Structure 1
């Protein structure tokens, strides 16, 4: 998925800044200038705990991404877009794949250490 999202700045005035965002299978990439020419800020799914506080008000959907170090990053998007749902589904898919990989590696290590009879 690719398109515009607005991110609330961390400074005292907390302006909403437009970002060109690209959702991949393992991250949300944000480009400051609205084009893919500049270096992007990459928010990797491994550093995201959850997407929280989804709220519809008027023409916007507001949501918060909570990172593993409990930092909250606020976003908003037009009401007709589905960014919050797309990010949630991509995050769940990523977390499921990570859990499956962890389970398989644990199973393989237990098989190697199994006692002889």
Structure 2
């Protein structure tokens, strides 16, 4: 059984579709310490798409208009996913902070692993 991750934030975001017309579609979004999950119909009953922070490179290209903040999530395989949110909601900042926190924790784990391996190699 998968442990339920702690929810940092939950709400609505608009995602630009990959279709020819590139329409904006509302998604229910759940932000946790490890991922961003998108649900198509505004309900968590439907199968959501999970973007794990391990596969995200950065949050990029923040642009403000009068009504919206537009931003792009860039994955490690260089796929760009465009989002927009109401100007005051600051979803881009929430996602960026959670991503940085995840990347910092991963860097610390990697550093500790390297130290332990070097210490183990030195004891032989």
Interval of TM-score (by shorter of Structure 1 and Structure 2): over 0.9
Aligned to 1:72: 80
In structure 1, runs of 5+ residues without a counterpart are: none
Q: Quick one: which of 103, 106, 109 aligns to 2:111?
A: 103
TM-score, normalization by structure 1: 0.97
Secondary structure of residue in 2 paired with 1:80:
helix
Q: CA RMSD in A?
A: 0.9
**Partner of residue 37, structure 1:** 45
1:87 maps to 95
User: How many angstroms apart in 1 are the aligned matches of 2:118 and 2:93?
Assistant: 37
Provide structure 2 residue ranges, at least 5 long, that are not aligned to the other structure. 1-8
**TM-score using structure 2 length:** 0.92
**Stretches of 4+ aligned residues off by more than 6 angstroms:** none
